[in-house]
Amino acid sequence: MRIAMIGAGYVGLVSGACFSDFGHHVVCVDSDKAKVAALKGGELPIYEPGLAELVASNVRQGRLVFGHDLKSAVADAEVVFIAVGTPSRRGDGHADMSYVYAAAHEIACALTQFTVIVTKSTVPVGTSDEVERIIREANPAAEFAVVSNPEFLREGAAIRDFKHPDRIVIGCSDARARNIVTEVYRPLHLNAPPILHTDRRTAELTKYAANCFLATKIAFINEIADLAERVGANVQEVARGIGLDNRIGQKFLHAGPGFGGSCFPKDTLALIKTAQDNEAPLRIVETVMAVNDQRKRAMARKVAHAFGGNGNLRGKAIAVLGVTFKPNTDDMRDAPSIPLITALQDMGAAIRVFDPVGMSQAKKVLQDVTFCESAYDCAKGAHALVIVTEWEQFRALDLKELALIMASPVIVDLRNIYSPEEAARHGFHYCGVGRPRPLAY
């Protein structure tokens, strides 16, 4: 099947590469000519495990190409996916739909045959209706149908999520279009993923509802972690105890510094604004955002408390391990490390940073920090080591060596990677999240 993917960002690039790996012929179109040139040269704009190899393989076999000529790509396509960005709009938090609507207008002017237009971007309820209106107004003679097909990809595991999805949601009222989109996903038939056929507005709301529910689980367990610290309980065991209830499940119950990334903060805020506009406020979701914002700021106070809690870190060098919002990505969008580092700097600390993949992106958003070559280089001479992102490279550090090279033996483990007892045995003052400290302290 011939597919045009409008947008070569995270969703468009992963989706386009995977569709081409299914055997479809995919043209990824992006208005950024520099990005297109880089892609043609084998340079990807994002880090995602396995993606570079997948792209290179399908480019080599002629099933995946990149360009900036939207008109020719759409004219030749049976299915056109809109996978452009929908960032939070400055000032009010609504999703910025300008890129989606601009793409819709360009698509309208390029249609030459019956074409299925699929909104893959995360969009507010009613967007597909507006896309249809824009296309009909711009090209009344066009034969097309608009479908909502939201993505459910996790950064760091996107290829597996695409090829082994929990579900595929197809929002459509046109039988012909529904059959065509189902055929696009036919190569997944052997994996037998559940396919939910529904209307477009329900499909759009399903995406936001899923992200907001997962964000709620994170905010909930983080508040339980605070309580656990106060009463001497272990939040990891609490999470296991409630997660074994199959009505709850164990995923997204890991206490930490709060959620970030390109989806949860943006989508949660967008759904709040949509609900407010429709006079149906989502008080639980509003609280989730407030709790998460407060959580990120509170992590700096946790570091200060490791030194006595007076809020003055002047003369202290703090080593921060991991700055991306999660492992296996270079994404710094709304990463908890950003407000944490800013708050520590406001307290007077000098910040040293290391991340296995995210250093180039971090340099764009972090100021007045020292970027280091390795975890041990980062820790050398530091008065405290703060683990922010749970990269595998940080899960088996040599605590004995760290104790020798650090200026003072303090570990603030915001991901609960290490055992408090193990850290204590090596002479560290250890602070985790929602866990009692070793008896020695």
Active site residues: 263
Residue 67 identity: G
CA pair distance 319, 372, nearest whole angstrom:
9
Residues with Cβ within 8 Å of residue 118, at least 6 apart in sequence = 79, 80, 81, 82, 146, 147, 148, 149, 181
CA pair distance 359, 374, nearest whole angstrom:
11
Per the CB < 8 A criterion, the answer to whether 105 and 134 are in contact is yes
CA pair distance 66, 35, nearest whole angstrom:
10
* Cα–chain center distance at 325: 8
Q: How far is CA 303 from CA 18, 233, 255, 428, in A?
A: 42, 20, 16, 14
Q: How far is CA 325 from CA 213, 262, 303, 354, 415, in A?
A: 18, 9, 18, 13, 12
Strand, helix or coil for residue 78: coil
Per the CB < 8 A criterion, the answer to whether 413 and 433 are in contact is yes
Per the CB < 8 A criterion, the answer to whether 117 and 104 are in contact is yes
Locate the DSSP E strands across 293-392.
Answer: 317-321, 350-354, 369-371, 384-387
CA pair distance 139, 241, nearest whole angstrom:
57
